[in-house]
Amino acid sequence: DIQMTQSPSSLSASVGDRVTITCRASQSISSYLNWYQQKPGKAPKLLIYTASSLQSGVPSRFSGSGSGTDFTLTVSSLQPEDFATYYCQQSYSTPRTFGQGTNVEIK
Amino acid sequence: EVQLVETGGGLIQPGGSLRISCAASGFTVSSNYMSWVRQTPGKGLEWVSIIYSGGSTYYAGSVKGRFTISRDNSKNILYLQMNSLRAEDTAVYYCARTYDYGDSDAFDIWGQGTMVTVSS
């Protein structure tokens, strides 16, 4: 199974900050990497698919990059509604696997 | 409106069986890939199973041989039959449409989740 490791596990940031979250795969997954946002008590929401494609309806302040084993999710200017937990997930092989999550908290 | 609604969760004793359901609206289950994903506080998000539009099914190693994914095309419902349940199967279970982008896929629509608790 492909292991996905996110860093950091948590971070504190202020509204307006630029935030970057990293995801590393245990082997090359080309660009088969998705990002999700989850708020407490809610289901995850797809933000980015195939490493850098923005899902319909997702604000353009969210962006993704990377290929191979190293990927990043960037929020260019953090908004109050962006405080949540973010997960990466590989779609390169079965079983699909997720990172452990990054909790973005208000500073 | 495109929507998924899970039902059927509850408290079940170890070794017991439970079937959870996921009713879809706004799209056709049988024309899409559909997955079950579960979430526990300790282990985060874990993919459980997928059924492809052609009918092929795959399972996580942790549930293989105990869980069965299926669908009722006439009712547009996805199911997960869970047998020989263990305490470690306790989780919120989500169904998710697994959208095929051609050469990749992602979980683009999720249900609200149903809680399954395995305990005596």
* pLDDT (tens digit per residue) in A10-68: 999 999 999 999 999 999 999 999 999 999 999 999 999 999 999 999 999 999 999 99
CA atoms of B42 and B14, how far apart (whole Å): 19
Shortest Cα distance from B7 to chain A (angstroms)? 15
* Cβ neighbours of A107 (radius 10 Å): 9
Strand B44-51 and strand B105-110: the pairing is unpaired
Q: Is A43 on the interface with B (CB under 8 A)?
A: yes
> Structure tokens of B3?
């929507």
The end-to-end CA distance of chain B, in Å, is 39
CA distance readout (Å), B45 to A99, A101, B48: 8, 9, 10
| Residue B45 burial class via C-beta count within 10 angstroms: exposed 0-12, middle 13-18, buried 19 and up | buried
Which residues make Cβ contacts (< 8 Å) with residue B52, sequence separation at least 6? B33
Token digits of residue B35: 């997955």
Which chain A residues contact residue B99 at CB under 8 A?
49
Chain A residues with CB under 8 Å of B45 CB are 44, 87, 89, 98, 101
Residue A38: Cβ within 10 Å count: 19
Per-residue pLDDT reduced to its tens digit, B18-61: 999 999 999 999 999 999 999 997 678 999 999 999 999 999 99
Partners of residue B46 in chain A, C-beta under 8 Å: 98
CB within 8 Å: B106 and A43? no
- Tens digits of residue pLDDT in B66-92: 999 999 999 999 999 999 999 999 999
Report strand pairing: B105-110 vs B114-118.
Answer: unpaired
Q: Would an 8 Å CB–CB cutoff place A100 in contact with chain B?
A: yes
Residue of chain B nearest A55, judged by CA positions: B108
Convert the pLDDT of each residue in A52-96 to its tens digit: 999 999 999 999 999 999 999 999 999 999 999 999 999 999 999
Neighboring chain B residues of A91 at a CB cutoff of 8 Å: 104-106
Q: Identify whether the C-beta of residue B36 lies closer than 8 Å to the C-beta of residue B48.
A: yes
